[in-house]
Amino acid sequence: MKCDDQAGAVNGVYRAENNTWGKGTISGWSQCIGLGIGPDGTLVGRWTWDWLNSGTNVKAYPEIIFGQKPGSSTTSPDLPKKINSVSELMITYDITSTHTGSGNIAFDIWLTNTQNPAKWGVPPITHEIMIWLDRYGGLQPGGNWVETVEIDGTDYSVYEGENWGDGWRYIAFVRKAFQPMAGTLNLRSFLSYMQTKSFATGDEYIASIEIGNEVVSGSGETILNKYAVSIR
């Protein structure tokens, strides 16, 4: 486990980042992250945090990264890749999490207008896509509610915001009924929905896929018992 601010760790095609992007001037917090390989040869990970009762804004996103998070180098030759060249993008996961306070467990996917997003901001970032697996303590997504949609048998509330962050489009898919934290997701299904709604053209590049907790307050621990990303 690494506990330094913004500390990183690499295991194969995955990188852990002890991301504390929203900490501001807060002191007295703690956060740690680590990676390993499970008995079956798949990735395992763990992160812990304690942000006390520290207001209502997101403080951190301890995360596991697959691909090229804008401004960083890629972890895998499979990403970045143009949306229209991807037929299937599967995530297999098994997550255990305990927590107090407020936050979520969510995927964060960055789309860019270039195959090499060597810098942060706009350009090259065009979209931030979040898929909320769980939320607690009253945390709400950004943007405006669009509709409820069924994707691969699961209902999601869809939220959309323009000029988000440094100017990109924000899309959040929030599960209507939170389910056990184990299963598979085909991210291509979410991207296809976005194309049908004209939220994306398909010419954008999928830069990175990330999983973590957006932490607003409180303490907790998340364990990735199993995690894998595959692309076709």
pLDDT tens, residue by residue, 139-162: 999 999 999 999 999 999 999 999
Q: Band the pLDDT of 42: cuts 50, 70, 90.
A: confident
Q: How many CB atoms lie within 10 A of CB 152?
A: 12
* Residue in 192, 31, 181, 18 with CA at minimum distance from that of residue 93: 181
The pairing of beta strand 168-175 with beta strand 125-136:
parallel
- 8: β partners: 17
Assess whether pLDDT exceeds 90 at residue 178.
no
Residues in the chain: 232
8-231 domain in CATH 2.60.120.180? yes
pTM attached to this predicted model: 0.96
> How far is CA 214 from each of CA 42, 192, 199, 222, 231, rounded to the nearest angstrom?
24, 25, 24, 12, 25
The per-residue pLDDT for 41 is: 81
How far, in Å, CA of 183 to CA of 206, rounded? 22
CB 31 within 8 A of CB 49: yes
Span 23-37, average pLDDT: 94
Least confident interval from 41-45, 51-55, 99-103, 196-200:
51-55
Distance separating the N- and C-terminal Cα atoms of the chain? 32
DSSP state of 115: S
How far, in Å, CA of 87 to CA of 214, rounded? 29
